Amino acid sequence: QNTVTPPSLHPRWLRVNLLKSSVKKVVALLLNPDPIWPKPYNKPYKESDVVLDALLPDVMSLPPGSDLHDHPLVIEGVIILQSKASCMPAHALKPMAGWTVVDCCAAPGNKTTHIAALIKAAGGNGMVIAFDRDERRLERLNGNAVRAGAMHIISARLHDFLSVDPECEEMSQVQGIILDPSCSGSGTIYSRMDHLLPSSAAGPRFRGGNSFDNDEGQMGQEETERLERLASFQEAALRHALHFPAVKRLVYSTCSVHQRENEDVVAAVLPEAHSLGFRLKDPFPEWHRRGRPVLEGHDMLVRTDACLDGTDGFFVALFERTSDPT
């Protein structure tokens, strides 16, 4: 648990798209690739290179540096290049068969297609309503949904989530919500660098032994103000999401390591969430890393650390409605 992994050495995470295939079939294809696939993808992986994730059943990893961007399975939408941490929110939501789920800030749709796959795997005809206010990003979402074979499950809408009426007929049927709003992205800075730089170039900025989640004190004024703006949108969006009347489970997630965008946002809405019948729930009791101890229920919150967990820095909070609003 305490081995520090330079983020440039993260495994290559991938998600099997259950709408198109199964983990078993994908493993078989990685071990015995189709000989007509182009080089280097026609070279088999060793069994020890393909590691199934212990927490998330549709996620696996290949050795660090594995380049799969033009892999035929990626092009066909059978596998999706998505970090383990980014796959946690959809599993935390655990959509049930037949559910209608709202993805509030959805583009480019990694979590939208993941939820669509989990709804289908649960055996029902549910759907995901995916809002985003950015037209170009929503186009990317549509492209990703087509590639994933999820178009029939996803309804993509160009809309500001804050102006969606939670009480309208359609929204009052929604049982699940995922809110993965714009954030500082501070948890992904190293994996983003990884695409830009050779791993040796990432080295000097890696402070071995630190977990990168404690640097708010070192921020300049501009960065602090930006964080405040982001946090105030995140809080407004989370409050809005809590007011969908039939929602049973709501997941709030960020790829930020900052307490201001994570625990502080949850703490700010918690009294209102309680009055609406929600409680914090632990989506992954077997996971070791928890929220910072700055609010009651912090041990229900999930964090991943970009240095210690072999994946991006992420934050996941699950609200579950356990009683009627008071």
**Which chain residues interact with ligand SAM by CB under 6 A?**
105-111, 131-134, 137, 160-162, 180-183
Task: State how far the Cα of 29 lies from the Cα of 171, in Å rounded to an integer.
Answer: 41
Q: Is 183 a catalytic residue?
A: no
CB 61 within 8 A of CB 14: yes
Least distance in angstroms from the C-beta of 163 to ligand SAM = 8
Task: State how far the Cα of 74 lies from the Cα of 50, in Å rounded to an integer.
Answer: 16
Least distance in angstroms from the C-beta of 13 to ligand SAM = 14
Residue of 159, 135, 163 whose CA lies nearest to 237:
163
Write out the two tokens for 71: 């892999």
Which residue has the closest beta carbon to ligand SAM?
A: 105
160 annotated binding-site participant: yes
Task: State how far the Cα of 202 lies from the Cα of 77, in Å rounded to an integer.
Answer: 30
Write out the two tokens for 247: 């929602």
Considering the complex, state which of residue 79 and residue 183 has its C-beta at the smaller distance from ligand SAM. Answer: 183
Considering the complex, state which of residue 34 and residue 160 has its C-beta at the smaller distance from ligand SAM. Answer: 160
Least distance in angstroms from the C-beta of 107 to ligand SAM = 4
70 annotated binding-site participant: no
Instruction: State the chain's maximal CA–CA distance in angstroms.
Output: 62
Considering the complex, state which of residue 50 and residue 154 has its C-beta at the smaller distance from ligand SAM. Answer: 154
CB atoms within 10 A of CB 48: 7
Taken in order 65, 69, 72, 77, the sign of the CA dihedral is positive
180 annotated binding-site participant: yes
Q: How far apart are the first and last CA of the chain?
A: 42
* Sole residue written with tokens 């994933």: 148
The β-bridge relationship of strands 176-179 and 100-103 is parallel
Task: State how far the Cα of 268 lies from the Cα of 52, in Å rounded to an integer.
Answer: 37
Q: What angle do CA 210, 58, 33 make, to 5 degrees?
A: 105
105 annotated binding-site participant: yes
Least distance in angstroms from the C-beta of 111 to ligand SAM = 4
Least distance in angstroms from the C-beta of 110 to ligand SAM = 4
Least distance in angstroms from the C-beta of 58 to ligand SAM = 15
106 annotated binding-site participant: yes
Considering the complex, state which of residue 26 and residue 85 has its C-beta at the smaller distance from ligand SAM. Answer: 85
Choosing from 87, 104, 183, 255, the catalytic residue is 255
Q: Which residues pair with 178 in a beta bridge?
A: 103, 251
CB 174 within 8 A of CB 247: yes
The β-bridge relationship of strands 127-132 and 154-158 is parallel
Task: State how far the Cα of 66 lies from the Cα of 310, in Å rounded to an integer.
Answer: 15
Enzyme catalytic residues:
255
Q: Which residues are annotated as a binding site for S-adenosyl-L-methionine?
A: 105-111, 132, 160, 180
Residue list for the binding site: 105-111, 132, 160, 180
